[in-house]
Structure 1
Amino acid sequence: MPPGNRQMTVGLFGGSFNPPHPGHRLVAETALKRLGLSRIWWIVTPGNPLKDHGILRPLGERVAMARAMASPARMDVTAFEARYKVRFTADMVALVRARRPELRIVWVMGADSMATFHRWQEWQRIAEMVPIAVVDRPGATFAALASPFARRYDFARIPQERASILPYRQAPAWTFLFGPRDATSSTRLRGEAVMPS
């Protein structure tokens, strides 16, 4: 787990990153800038319970690719979930809070993930444990803002113009960040990789 101190605000950006792509980097950069974060951690998961593990590249390979994609200036790439044998995001966030209690943390995700967030294990526990920043993704805006999460926690939404206060708010609290979008997706990249030339 990367180091931290009480002066830091850290975005937790978890995913399979299978493979990582410029869209992931844009989400991370948007969160860093708009939330005023000190750092963002790319947390490469051993495997997403909602996705097919048969097409999952080895963890070490995905970590190396994420390091090549992330900016070393303010981004850390880690796979500590594997070491602690953590399977679900709710447990991972609880682990970070237990081991780095001095940090102000925010969960960062793309709008495409928000659209299906209600399918995650203990999604309401996550929402009530950590502030959440959602970064717009092509084709996902409406589904995200109409999702069960958005409806359930509408009262806790912070306007994007005030997004920089999110790391200092008690959960539940969330914001939706509009801005430049990148249409690259891991699913499409994997499809292109297996297509005959």
Structure 2
Amino acid sequence: MHVIYGGTFDPIHHGHLRLALEISDRLEVVPINLVPCHIPPHRGDTGASAEQRLRLLELALAGEAQLRVDERELKRAGASYTADTLRQLREELGPEHPLTMVVGTDSFASFDRWREWQSIPELAHIVVVRRPGAELDPDGLPAAMLAERRVSDPQALHGQPCGLMLDLQLPLLEISATGIRERIEAGRSPRYLVPDSVWQEIRRQGLYRACPDGNF
């Protein structure tokens, strides 16, 4: 099974990495493919460029066999839409290979406003990771879709190419990329929230208004 976990990763942090490893263990899939988006369609500009975010990801994943970076959205012009990425992967993998995408409840709550959202279950399975404080509207379309397609056993995703949904409650590290950017901009250290190699590179490049000469 091929699994993708997309996001801006602006910057990549231990919350992202721990979640990806949990998914790898629960689904018994190696590697999990982290897909940084080029231009996120549902938010403003990123704090770091695509190239800078990719560099931070590569540093964070160095030596980690369970995780891998997939650069495909960074190489595509324009906004990054999930349906386009899944369609490209489906062409590469073939019609019968199980394909799964990972999304948090905070993002999935607006799933019915994603471009071509109705086609996504026909391209891939969806793993919905429960996030504290991000509940689905029980009367909304995303909740109805989850109820209709939900399976309880992760192994079910291995048995068919697409169309199923798995609702997972995982031990999460409540770390916010927004909070990390704000902390750096305020001159405070994000150490232990991000890998040391990532923090060193942020300082080296002066990302998020970090002071390269700061004693952090």
| TM-score with structure 2 setting the length | 0.76
Amino acid at match of 1:112: D
Q: What is the correspondence of 1:185-196 to structure 2 with a 5 Å cutoff?
A: 185-196=176-187
Query: Helix, strand or coil for the counterpart of 1:91?
Result: helix
Is 2:27 the counterpart of 1:57?
A: no
Which stretch shows the higher mean deviation, 77-86 or 42-51?
Answer: 77-86
> Do 1:11 and 1:37's aligned partners in 2 also have CA atoms closer than 8 Å?
yes
> Do 2:98 and 2:160's aligned partners in 1 also have CA atoms closer than 8 Å?
no
Q: Which residue of 2 aligns with 1:149?
A: 142
Q: CA deviation at 1:154?
A: 1.3
Q: CA deviation at 1:196?
A: 5.0
Indicate which of 121, 132, 156 corresponds to 1:138. Answer: 132
> Do 1:15 and 1:45's aligned partners in 2 also have CA atoms closer than 8 Å?
yes
Amino acid at match of 2:20: A
Q: Which residue of 2 aligns with 1:33?
A: 25
Distance 2:140 2:24 in 1: 24
Identity percentage over the alignment?
Answer: 26
Distance 2:67 2:187 in 1: 35
Amino acid at match of 1:19: P
Which stretch shows the higher mean deviation, 111-120 or 72-81?
Answer: 111-120
> Do 1:116 and 1:147's aligned partners in 2 also have CA atoms closer than 8 Å?
no
> Do 1:115 and 1:145's aligned partners in 2 also have CA atoms closer than 8 Å?
no
> Do 2:7 and 2:37's aligned partners in 1 also have CA atoms closer than 8 Å?
yes
Distance 1:137 1:124 in 2: 23
Distance 2:184 2:111 in 1: 28
Distance 1:137 1:173, change over 3 A: same
Structure 2 residue runs of 5 or longer lacking an equivalent are 189-216
Is 2:119 the counterpart of 1:125?
A: yes
Distance 1:143 1:182 in 2: 20
Q: CA deviation at 1:35?
A: 1.1
Q: CA deviation at 1:130?
A: 0.6
Q: Which residue of 1 aligns with 2:212?
A: none
Structure 1 residue runs of 5 or longer lacking an equivalent are 1-8
Distance 1:125 1:184 in 2: 31
> Do 1:127 and 1:171's aligned partners in 2 also have CA atoms closer than 8 Å?
yes
Q: Which residue of 1 aligns with 2:14?
A: 22
Is 2:158 the counterpart of 1:178?
A: no
CA-atom RMSD in angstroms: 2.2
More helix by share: 1
State which structure, 1 or 2, has the greater radius of gyration over its C-alpha atoms: 2
Q: CA deviation at 1:85?
A: 3.3
Distance 1:171 1:144 in 2: 24
Query: Helix, strand or coil for the counterpart of 2:57?
Result: helix
Query: Helix, strand or coil for the counterpart of 2:167?
Result: strand
Distance 1:147 1:79, change over 3 A: farther
Distance 2:73 2:100 in 1: 17
